[in-house]
Amino acid sequence: GAVVSQHPSRVICKSGTSVKIECRSLDFQATTMFWYRQFPKQSLMLMATSNEGSKATYEQGVEKDKFLINHASLTLSTLTVTSAHPEDSSFYICSAYTGGGDYSNQPQHFGDGTRLSIL
Amino acid sequence: TQLLEQSPQFLSIQEGENLTVYCNSSSVFSSLQWYRQEPGEGPVLLVTVVTGGEVKKLKRLTFQFGDARKDSSLHITAAQPGDTGLYLCAGYNTDKLIFGTGTRLQVFP
């Protein structure tokens, strides 16, 4: 089955540090990947859509200069949280679907998430 | 904004009980998906319902898509501690998957 790998699984760092999270599709190519943020005991909130070879599309209220997304290849998207502060602490999850055809009937394949803690 | 409201928000039951989780929207969806998420992990797809009125069964889980394709339900029969987790419905808004507000289920032995 389609596997999405996310790395690292957990990051603890000091305020002001920039943190990069990687999302890889291991056995399929993903022209589109998605980044979600999840606060404790809450649902997933879509942050941005990452498109291979082009700029990411950010959801309303998400700072594109704060959350830098790069989708340099068909199997890798990265999310960089720049100058992270304690309020950026959250669970970040990426996903991808194999694409093609009617996306609405295709499952999203999710990574296992990255727990980011800013001290 | 298409909102997917789930109810109840929290559910705490004893092993062997039955339960139903609801997912409602004012918008029509071409399909709805149900996911289950455990702490520290990404959500895992349980089912996709695509036809109004459709009923799908997955062992003790029964999923139904409303006739008008604005709502869905998940019914669990004889819940087990292993069913504990966060249940999320989700639907596509153009090419973006939007998640419901979530239902946190805890099943006690």
Q: B14-66, pLDDT tens digit by residue?
A: 999 999 999 999 999 988 999 999 988 999 999 999 999 999 999 999 999 99
Tell me the C-alpha distance between A96 and A29, whole Å.
Answer: 9
Choice between B7 and A97, residue whose per-residue pLDDT is larger: B7
Predicted confidence band at B92 (pLDDT cuts at 50, 70, 90)? confident
Q: Which residues of B touch A41 (CB under 8 A)?
A: 104
B43 and A6 within 8 Å at the Cβ level: the answer is no
Q: Is B101 exposed, middle or buried (0-12, 13-18, 19+ CB in 10 A)?
A: middle
**Is residue B59 less than 8 Å (CB to CB) from chain A?**
no
A73 has a pLDDT exceeding 60: yes
What pLDDT shows up at residue B19? 98
CA distance B88 to chain A (A): 8
What pLDDT shows up at residue A31? 83
What is the rounded average pLDDT of the residues B73-78? Answer: 98
What pLDDT shows up at residue A100? 59
Choice between B1 and A69, residue whose per-residue pLDDT is larger: A69
Here the tokens at position A99 are 């694409």
**Is residue A84 less than 8 Å (CB to CB) from chain B?**
no
Q: Which residues of A touch B33 (CB under 8 A)?
A: 107-108
CB B22 within 8 A of CB B32: no
**Is residue A54 less than 8 Å (CB to CB) from chain B?**
no
Q: What angle do CA A57, B26, A45 make, to 5 degrees?
A: 35
Name the residue among B31, B42, B102 with its Cβ closest to that of A104. Answer: B31
CA distance B40 to chain A (A): 7
Tell me the C-alpha distance between B21 and B74, whole Å.
Answer: 5
Tens of pLDDT along A16-63?
999 999 999 998 888 889 999 999 888 999 999 998 888 899 999 999
